[in-house]
């Protein structure tokens, strides 16, 4: 079991079966034992016997496994952004992530105009009716829709180095600092990204559990007055480690 969990939390995804060159050349992440010293077999190669869920690969083709590999990395990136964004937003505004939606509703989105500490200028002139919920929604739909359309090939790539199924395009538009210029360092960075992404996915599950476990009301955390976010819980725990912890909420 220890070997299985080691595989899950930090191995590099490599698919040894044959698959399309575009996928394998771009998505396979390899690193030597000096980069990844932990024990545990790679969960994307061999007979998959070290996975925490036996029989996972049964009935799956090499292309399907490659697609799951792609999905894992995309989810990992969203989780890293989500964890950092939720924490940072609460630190900056005092509003927990599960209440952020209440600041911008179809009825009133102007609460977003001045929510940052020390903010001198509003996001829009006072009394203008902006920010507007539907304007914010339209910007999000267009921005995310274009990103997904480029990624999946629904529309022609915006840049020559961007290819369908390529999650590490590099180049001047995606790696302006040239961090991936050294192939060996690039493989190390890919591995570290996946490790941190897996931790972030587990961390986001923690955010969800925290919201419900520490919720003082009977409604959903979003509608409960005084429901603390992860940053507020962390502050309370640091101030009183023995009195404000998980046992306080589930032990009574």
- Indicate the annotated binding residues: 72, 75, 77, 192-193, 196, 198, 210, 237
The annotation places the binding site for chlorophyll b at 77
Q: Return the closest-CA partner of residue 195 out of 64, 5, 46, 2.
A: 5
Name the DSSP letter for residue 125. Answer: -
Contact indicator for 141, 135 with CB cutoff of 8 Å: no
Using the structure block, give the residue that is written with the tokens 């190669």. Answer: 45
Contact indicator for 222, 101 with CB cutoff of 8 Å: yes
The annotation places the binding site for chlorophyll a at 72, 75, 192-193, 196, 198, 210, 237
Taking each continuous run of H as one helix and of E as one strand, the counts in the chain are 8, 0
Alpha-carbon distance of 79 to 204, in angstroms, equals 6
Alpha-carbon distance of 43 to 57, in angstroms, equals 10
Contact indicator for 113, 131 with CB cutoff of 8 Å: yes
Using the structure block, give the residue that is written with the tokens 């575009």. Answer: 22
Q: How many residues does the chain have?
A: 252
């Amino acid at each position: 079991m220890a070997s299985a969990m080691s595989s899950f939390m930090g191995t590099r995804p490599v698919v040894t079966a044959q698959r399309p060159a575009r996928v394998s050349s771009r998505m396979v992440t390899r690193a030597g034992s000096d980069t990844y010293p932990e024990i545990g077999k790679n969960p994307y190669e061999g007979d998959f016997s070290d996975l925490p869920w036996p029989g996972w690969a049964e009935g799956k083709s090499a292309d399907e496994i490659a697609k799951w590999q792609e999905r894992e990395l995309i989810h990992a990136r969203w989780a890293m952004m989500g964890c950092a964004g939720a924490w940072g937003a609460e630190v900056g505004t005092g509003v927990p992530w599960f209440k952020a939606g209440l600041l911008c509703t179809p009825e009133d989105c102007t609460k977003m105009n001045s929510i940052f500490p020390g903010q001198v200028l509003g996001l829009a002139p006072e009394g203008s009716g902006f920010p507007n919920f539907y304007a914010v929604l339209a910007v999000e739909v267009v921005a995310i829709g274009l990103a997904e359309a480029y990624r999946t090939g629904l529309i022609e790539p915006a840049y020559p180095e961007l290819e369908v199924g390529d999650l590490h395009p590099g180049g001047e538009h995606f790696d302006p600092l040239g961090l991936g210029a050294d192939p060996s360092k690039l493989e190390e960075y890919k591995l570290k990204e996946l490790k941190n992404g897996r931790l972030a996915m587990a961390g986001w599950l923690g955010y969800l559990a925290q919201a419900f476990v520490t919720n003082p009301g009977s409604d959903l955390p979003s509608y409960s007055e005084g429901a603390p976010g992860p940053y507020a819980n962390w502050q309370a725990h640091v101030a009183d480690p023995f009195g404000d912890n998980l046992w306080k909420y589930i032990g009574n």
